[in-house]
Amino acid sequence: MLSAEVQDGKSHERRGPYSVMLSALVSALIMAILTACGYQFRVDGAGPTIGGAPAATSTEPPPRLAIKTLINNSFEPNLEARYTNYIRDEFSNGSGAHVVSESDVADLVLSGQILSVSVPTLSFSQTATLESRAEVVVLVRVEEARSGKVVWTQLAKGGSEFFITSDLQFNRTLQNRAVEQAGRILAADLASRFLLQLETGALMKPVTAPVSSPHSPGQ
């Protein structure tokens, strides 16, 4: 009886590989029949993605933007160079444009002016001012380099608070720092607003064909 069971087990072991081969052959035959009948197993499209559909990427190069030195119409001296550098830094990092020098070929040109710098009092005691705020207003505009057409204008405001001490010289240092901080704030605001214009398509694309009439400097 034991020998019969052993022999039966051995016969199962011998039939094992043949059974696997037979199953594979049957599966292949079924797939061939289904394909011949016109059945196809496929997934249309790119298939599922983790985190949702991929964001559409623009194939157009970023516009080349030249930034001119601002005109300082305020009573605060020597602001134009610093504020222009703040704007160039912020637009280089987060505006969606490729900032180039004024001597390079540009698609767009940004110009502007510092309209005002004021230092209103925020808090005071019966005898002295305790806290003030530096407020700066800048107006910029962007033109198409070839046609001179204005495609974007923006008024930006920046402010920064500072405390008043009994040291007048130190107070002036604190005020200068607040004016600089206000400039950095409005430069970042301008860059983010410009980027929004590009992304939403609200900013008109620069012209690619040369225009017949040159742009006069006074426009």
Report the CATH number that the domain containing residue 100 is assigned in CATH: 3.30.160.150
For residue range 27-84, list pLDDT tens digits in order.
666 665 555 555 444 444 444 444 444 444 556 788 899 999 999 999 999 999 999 9
Domain that holds residue 118: 68-200
Domain presence at residue 178: yes
Domain presence at residue 205: no
With CA atoms as reference, report the closest residue to 158 among 133, 140, 136, 189.
136
Domain presence at residue 127: yes
Domain presence at residue 27: no
pTM: 0.64
Secondary structure class of 137 (helix, strand, coil): strand
Rounded Cα gap, residues 202 and 194, in angstroms: 10
Domain presence at residue 112: yes
Domain presence at residue 208: no
For residue range 172-198, list pLDDT tens digits in order.
999 999 999 999 999 999 999 999 998
Helix (H) or strand (E) holding 155: strand 150-163
C-alpha distances (whole Å) from 175 to each of 27, 42, 85, 87, 147 are 83, 69, 19, 20, 41
Count of structural domains within the chain:
1
Domain presence at residue 23: no
Identify the sign of the CA torsion 186, 187, 189, 194: positive
